[in-house]
C-alpha cells in the first residue's frame, strides 16, 4: 500500500510545478470540514511525535514539504510572513515526506534554514495517507476543533488566508 501511496505522491507532485496546476480549494486532498486522523510520525531523531498534540487543540497549519521541492522553496516567504503575523494564534508544522530524502538530509537543510518551525519526519507515509497529501507543497489548515478549513497545493496558494482561516 505504501508503494502505491508513494507513487501517487510522486505522480501528483509534478502537478505542483506545472503552470496552471492545482491551487487552493481545487478539491484535492482532504475535504473542507473533515477531520484528519491524528497519526504518529517521528522527529528527526526518530522519537515518536503524535500529531494529536495539535489537532483539535489549537489552530494549526501543516505543510507537506521536502528539501528538494522548488515549489516549497517558492512558498517559504509566504509561509514565513504568515507565521510572523499569526505566531501567537496558529501553530505551524512542516511535515517532511520520506520521498527522496532522509532525516539526515533534512537536518542539514535546517542548519542553513533554521527558522522553519517544528519539522516532523513522515518516513512511513502515515501523515501523507491521513491527510490525503497529493504531494509536496500541500498545505492544510485546521481550526481549533480539528476541522479542515483550508487546503492548497502548488505555488499559487493563499498562505496568509490559510492561517487566517485557521483562527476563525
Give percent above pLDDT 90 in the chain: 77
Residue whose grid cell is 494549526? 60
What is the predicted pLDDT for the residue at 27? 61
116 has a pLDDT exceeding 70: yes
- Measured CA angle at 107 (ends 103, 108), to 5 deg: 120
Helices 70-85 & 159-167 angle (0-180, nearest 10): 40
Residue 56: DSSP 8-state: T
- Average pLDDT, whole number, for the chain? 86
Q: Are 94 and 60 in contact (CB under 8 A)?
A: no
**Residue 35 is part of a domain; what is its CATH number?**
3.40.30.10
User: Span 140-156, mean pLDDT?
Assistant: 95
What is the predicted pLDDT for the residue at 17? 39
Count structural domains, the chain: 1
User: Span 84-99, mean pLDDT?
Assistant: 95
Instruction: Note down the domain range covering 154.
Output: 2-167
Q: How confident is the model at residue 44 (pLDDT cuts 50, 70, 90)?
A: very high
Q: Are 98 and 122 in contact (CB under 8 A)?
A: yes
Segments in 18-52 forming alpha helices (H): none
| Chain-centre distance for alpha carbon 144 | 17
Label the pairing between strands 148-152 and 48-50.
unpaired
For residue range 127-144, what is the model confidence (pLDDT) as tens digits?
999 999 999 999 999 999
Amino acid at each position: 500500500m505504501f508503494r502505491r501511496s508513494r507513487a501517487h505522491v510522486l505522480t501528483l507532485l509534478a502537478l505542483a510545478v506545472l503552470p496552471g496546476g492545482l491551487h487552493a480549494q481545487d478539491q484535492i486532498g482532504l475535504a473542507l470540514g473533515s477531520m484528519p486522523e491524528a497519526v504518529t510520525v517521528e522527529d528527526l531523531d526518530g522519537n515518536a511525535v503524535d500529531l494529536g498534540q495539535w489537532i483539535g487543540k489549537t489552530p494549526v497549519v501543516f505543510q507537506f514539504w521536502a528539501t528538494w521541492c522548488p515549489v516549497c522553496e517558492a512558498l517559504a516567504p509566504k509561509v514565513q510572513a504568515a507565521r510572523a503575523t499569526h505566531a501567537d494564534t496558529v501553530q505551524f508544522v512542516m511535515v517532511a515526506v520520506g520521498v527522496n530524502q532522509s532525516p539526515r538530509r533534512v537536518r542539514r537543510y535546517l542548519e542553513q534554514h533554521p527558522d522553519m518551525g517544528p519539522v516532523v519526519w513522515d518516513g512511513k507515509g502515515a501523515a501523507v495517507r491521513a491527510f490525503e497529501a497529493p504531494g509536496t507543497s500541500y498545505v492544510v489548515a485546521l481550526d481549533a476543533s480539528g476541522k479542515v478549513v483550508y487546503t492548497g497545493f502548488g505555488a499559487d496558494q493563499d498562505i496568509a488566508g490559510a492561517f487566517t482561516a485557521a483562527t476563525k
